[in-house]
Chain A
Amino acid sequence: MAAIPHDSPAPPRPAATSRYVAWAGSVGELCDVVDRLGGLAAELGAPSPDGAEWHGQLFGKLRPQVTREPVMVAAVCGGTNTGKSLVSNVLVGAEISRSLPEAARTRCPVASLPRGLAKSVDLAALFPGFTPQAWSSDTDALGGSAAGDDLLVWREDPVGRQPARLILIDTPDVDGTLRENWHRAEAVRNACDVIVAVLTQQKYNDAAVRDFFAAAAAAGKSLVVVFNMVNWPAQRERIAGWYATFVAETGAAPLAVYAVPHDFARAESGTIEFFHLPELTGGTADPAAAPVDLAAVLAGVDFDRIKLQAMEGAFRVVLDPSAGMATWLDAIESSSREWHDARGVLAEEAQVRVELPSAPRELVWNEIWEWLEPRRSSIDINLSRLYRVAGSGAAWVGRRIGIGRTAEERRDDFTAVELSALKQALSTFIDRLDGACRRSPRLRALLGDTLVRGDRAAWYADLERRHAALPMVSDDYRIFVRGELDRFSRENPKFLQVLLTGLSLGSVARPCITVGLMVAGAAAVPAAAAAGHGLTTLVHTAGDYVVWAVAPLAGEGVLGLTMAGLKPLLERLFAGWSAERSRVLTETLHAVVLGDRLEVIERLATAGGRPEVARARRLLYDCGREFSR
């Protein structure tokens, strides 16, 4: 392999990095759009990109390295107790990481930096996710056992032989029992350019080890394979078979293969020998060849070529249509479609018709009468008074014989029935929400917790409290009535005349009307009243109900026959009163049951069409074209 000069290490050539530096803009934009979409994707329930290979390459490799002065990162990786620390120490030329007989002791990566690099390189940026910590002893890497404690121990080359742009890293294992720690090795793998793969005859074909190196090969990392603990030279012939299996399994094309004989004494003293096996990488075998200095070999590789290859590999992973970032965007879009369906389910289920009792007639009529008072003729006023006196006399008699109720009692009766209707509507609503959650897993994810963990007794208590605090005639309603009547009289200039002419008729007909309206009168979840609360799903359907419920019933009143022109107006006034009353139900639903979840659903259902998604798609397309050029 040309990249591994064994005879005369060539000095590193000046950086030829223009190719991937040109990608800096695209990488920045990609990272930006992923950051922007991250929150939304999590909310959508799309799989987190954090564990995905493309994400690791984009954020762990491309972003930190595309704009910085290129350094080459070589990582020593392998399974537990295969001798990674030993190999690392030999490469560095000093004991940076304690090599111990117990397995899985290196818990966090240890980096050896060339002299002077610590000042110029930002390790936290170069190795995202790790907290750099200066080296104090060779046992640093053994600590930090707690998961989430992602330290990166670093030390400047104590010997002074490390090439100026080469960082060497000893990594934790990739197959230990503490699986939650595997991500540290994976993060180092993402960031590095060269991997020294430490294999043994026991582990070269372990699935965990294979998968680790296959991902590295797929991301364009250059591999140097070291078979450790070999019975040398007895097993020399075996290595070809092991190596063939490894290459076939991982798809890797290693730069070179070395064998390290099993030798207790040398391992103890840190003087293990690396025997080059050129026959495995296209060269000719030389059984008599002396061991090589692997550190020198690494120092002599073509940094820029390897770096470019690693950067290209990383980009390829990100752009891969079947496994790269595009799959994440697909997931976002398909999640959004599911939310769209969930919204449909909710709209279908969460409709409740509230059968409110008929309004106490005098309340609405009093408002109308009050508006009319200054516009009435004396005859009409007198007639009206006559009725009022007669009416109160009849009411007094009724009360005495026990079949009449006072106005207060009637109102109490009304509010009790009204509260019952509202509570029943709330029960039905909760039941429908339960049903919607059963139908849609997405809704269950969003609302299930509220429905199961929520204190339902408190919801009813909230409704009762709001209902108790509701005035019989609110100022809003008063303004609404005045506005409606004013508007009507403006739009119908003859209205007052008609009304005044008809007033005698009106007042004569009044008892009939009120009786008629007592039989009629119904409303539903408020329309206008709730419009400001963002309950779009509820409100739309509710409006239909108001029209449906009130129009035919009110129309049967004598009012409709006598004053056909006024019919729609009166319908609106009565419906408006009921709507105003039942607003408390909407408030309870909004304030204590649903919160802002309807807005959330609305947002998620339309997330697939967000400009960020389109921008991400376009960026991927552009990058793909740029990359293939």
Chain B
Amino acid sequence: MTDMPSLGPNDAPTVVPPTPAPGFDDAGFDDLITGLARWSGALPDWPPARRVRAEWEEVAPRLDRARRELSRVLVVGVIGGTGTGKSTLVNALAGRDVSPAGDVARPTTVAPVVVVARDVDCSWLALDEVGARVVTSDAAAVANIVLIDCPDPDTQGPVTLPPAGGAQLPVGGTQRPSEKNHNRDLLERILPACDVLLLVATAQKYRSWSVASEVAAFAPGRPLLFVQTHASRDADIRDDWRRELERQGIEAPAIHRLDGLEAARRAAAGLEPEPGFAGLVKAIDEELVGRAARRVRRTGALDLAGWFLSQALGQLAPLQQPVAELASGVAAQTGRLEGLMEKAVAGKLRASRPAWQRVMQEELVERWQGGPFAMFLHALAGLGSLWPKLRGGGLVGRILSGQGVPTVATGDGAWQSIEEIGLAEADVEQSRSILVGLAARATIGEPMVGRARLDERAVQTSVGTLMERTGHWLVGGVDRLVAERRDRVDSPLMHGVCEVLFGALIVAVLGRAAWNFFYGHLWQGHPLGGLGFLEEALVWIILWGLFLRWIVFARLRAGLDRDIAGLVTRLPGARLVDPFLHDFAAAANTSAAFLETGDDLARRHAALEARVVEGRSTLGRLKGHTP
């Protein structure tokens, strides 16, 4: 088709408020159209969705027109191969010779002829742009329709596809007269303006490839009428034609058979029309005029929407599986990275025994106040704090020493700062590279997803988010773990027992000292033993205190490894590694949602269509559009 302007409405002539058609759910249809419009533009970065969008832009104006121009008369395009008697038929319908017809030369009709009744306004058809000629007719058959006698599609060359391995028509290379023939181009600019196609064929042409390909291109959303002409010369091929149409996916409930020449002769002579022709006129009157016109437009629009959906979903269908595979790939890679992280974090936590000890000691010391053992513990903690705190490096160390999440270093440092929790650049890149492959399978690429290697800014943000999330998660987990353990020993009984046991030794030492002094020295008169005994006793007290402390901490520590393992198994729930793969996850979700919405729209369309099935006429239509 050339890029010349096509025949179409200049402006919407009259906007008629839609009146409900029987069996037709107007609100539902409007909802469907709104849904389709939103859906087709939902994912502009995904190439398949972009193609859907492009197709929608072709279809949308037609649907819009069908909704706005409900009560305008229908435009019937008469199409068929050259020599099938299109013009003769148009003359017969118009009741006089309005279009040149005959066997002088092929093609006969080179400019479209538009037949309208006197009182019908067809100014909204941009007729000049295709060189159309308008003629008026008083015939009853065309009183309420606009009839266009179209040029043929089969005389314009070449029909051969672009040749493989060289030009197809080599020798000579003289100018052929048909090079000036643009009938098919012209036809393709007229047909968009037609609401209904009247397909004319003869025994020689009903299986013509060039006609069939034009019909296939323009049948979506356009009801069809079928006429076999040359009835007086040719055999009745309607059954075979119907089979052929069936093969092309076209439903043809009725095919009219008539002789155009005879019909035109009788029309001109004012005689009673022959039965075939009368049948066609009756069909036009019953199926295309008045309320029927509205129904034709509505069902045509619904068919067009259905055709658009089936085309779109047909293209999208092969992507269902790749999109699902991408989603499961994202899950698998997230799991892989989390597994690496679990292993490293667990190892790191297990290896930080002194840090744990210190945290738990601080907790206990804070809670146990008063009493000699508590004082002993306080004293030990105080002594410990004299040593500079062994500051743990890295994220885990800092969290265990209560210093919070470190800031992310720039450049390569960003990766180094999370290496200790098991995420190396190479591993993240491996996961992303695998997902790039899966995404490509679903034709998802940039900008929906990034590349395997994250750029510096992305690394900075992702690592920052990861560290922040991991920090919070770890702080929470460690706090909970510490609190559980603290609760194990932080009972008045345990405290009391420790105090009693520790206090008992002190009491025993003091008692012994008192005994020695009061009984031994004052009563018995033994000399004072000096401070030697107390020094010795102090050592025993300290040892006893340390022993008790060891028992308490052993109880605190028991099962720490198991609890750490338990803690890290909850790591996936924290969705820590998501920042590294979020683009793939988002792409998988949005594309899956796009496919799902398409299916949903198709279901809605099917429901709408089920309601109008009874109202269908004898007009033909392109079938099989319900996906």
Contact = CB atoms under 8 A, between A and B. Distances in A.
Interface of A: 46-55, 79-82, 101-104, 173, 175-179, 200-208, 210-211, 214-215, 218-219, 229, 235, 238, 241-242, 245, 248-249, 251, 262, 316-317, 320, 322-324, 327-328, 331, 419-421, 423-424, 426-428, 430-431, 434, 451-454, 456-457, 460
B78 to A, nearest CB: 16
A205 B208 contact: no
B492 interface: no
B166 A328 contact: yes
Contacts of A245: 105-106, 177
Given A103-B207, A424-B425, A251 B174 contact: yes
B433 A427 contact: yes
A103 B170 contact: no
Contacts of A460: 430, 434
A427 B178 contact: no
A248 B240 CA distance: 35
Given A101-B203, A211-B157, A238 B103 contact: yes
Contacts of A424: 425-426, 429-430
A327 B158 CA distance: 20
Interface of B: 81-84, 103-107, 154-160, 163-174, 176-178, 202-210, 212, 233-237, 240, 244, 247-248, 332, 424-427, 429-430, 432-434, 436-438, 440-441, 451-453
B452 A430 contact: yes
A535 B518 CA distance: 99
A494 B49 CA distance: 75
Contact of A423 (B81, B155, B204, B427): B427
A274 to B, nearest CB: 19
A428 B452 CA distance: 8
Given A47-B165, A323-B167, A249 B176 contact: yes
A248 B177 contact: yes
Contacts of A331: 165-166
A241 B105 contact: yes
Nearest to A55: B165
A317 B168 CA distance: 10
Contacts of B437: 430, 451-452, 454, 456
Contacts of A215: 168-169
Residue in A51, A54, A102, A331 with the greatest tally of chain B CB atoms within 10 Å: A102
A108 B176 CA distance: 31
A57 to B, nearest CB: 10
A318 B234 CA distance: 42
22 contacts: A46-B165, A51-B164, A52-B166, A53-B163, A53-B170, A101-B203, A103-B204, A202-B202, A202-B205, A205-B82, A205-B106, A206-B81, A215-B168, A229-B233, A322-B166, A323-B170, A419-B426, A423-B427, A423-B430, A427-B429, A430-B452, A431-B452
Nearest to A49: B165
Contact of B81 (A55, A178, A202, A251): A202
Contacts of A49: 164-165
Residue in A251, A316, A317, A454 with the greatest tally of chain B CB atoms within 10 Å: A251
A208 B84 contact: no
Q: Which 5 residue pairs spanning A and B have beta carbons closest together?
A: A323-B170, A202-B83, A101-B235, A52-B165, A327-B166
Given A102-B240, A207-B155, A210-B157, A175 B233 contact: no
Given A218-B169, A460-B430, 7 more contacts: A46-B165, A47-B165, A102-B237, A205-B82, A211-B159, A241-B104, A323-B167
B444 to A, nearest CB: 11
A262 B204 CA distance: 14
Nearest to A79: B204
A454 to B, nearest CB: 7
Contacts of A102: 237, 240
Contacts of A320: 170-171
A443 B107 CA distance: 48
A457 B331 CA distance: 13
A427 B453 contact: yes
Given A49-B164, A81-B207, A176-B208, A204 B169 contact: no
B436 A53 contact: no
Given A248-B176, A317-B170, A81 B165 contact: no
Nearest to B333: A457
Residue in B155, B158, B233 with the greatest tally of chain A CB atoms within 10 Å: B155
Contacts of A51: 163-165
Nearest to A202: B83
B530 to A, nearest CB: 42
A411 B141 CA distance: 95
A327 B167 CA distance: 9
Nearest to A416: B424
Nearest to B234: A101
Contacts of B160: 211
Residue in A80, A102, A206, A327 with the greatest tally of chain B CB atoms within 10 Å: A206
Nearest to A332: B165
Contacts of A241: 104-105
Contacts of A457: 332, 434
A80 B208 CA distance: 7
B244 A177 contact: yes
Contact of B212 (A177, A218, A262, A453): A177
Contacts of B212: 177
A207 B157 contact: yes
Contact of A52 (B154, B163, B171, B424): B163
Contacts of B209: 175-179, 208
Contacts of A103: 203-204, 206-207, 237, 240
Contacts of A229: 233
Given A207-B156, A427-B429, A427-B430, A176 B207 contact: yes
Contacts of A210: 157, 176, 178
A207 B83 contact: no
A233 B373 CA distance: 134
Contacts of B155: 205-207
Residue in B165, B170, B204, B424 with the greatest tally of chain A CB atoms within 10 Å: B165
Given A207-B159, A317-B171, A460-B430, A81 B204 contact: yes
A438 to B, nearest CB: 9
B154 A208 contact: yes
B163 A453 contact: no
Nearest to A214: B169
A103 B212 CA distance: 14
A205 B107 contact: yes
Residue in B212, B432, B437, B441 with the greatest tally of chain A CB atoms within 10 Å: B437
Nearest to A424: B426
A205 B207 CA distance: 16
A451 B165 contact: no
Contacts of B237: 101-103
A173 B210 CA distance: 13
Contacts of B178: 205, 207, 210, 249
B168 A242 contact: no
A267 to B, nearest CB: 10
Contact of B165 (A214, A218, A242, A327): A327
A179 B452 CA distance: 46
A218 B171 contact: yes
Nearest to A54: B166
Nearest to B202: A202
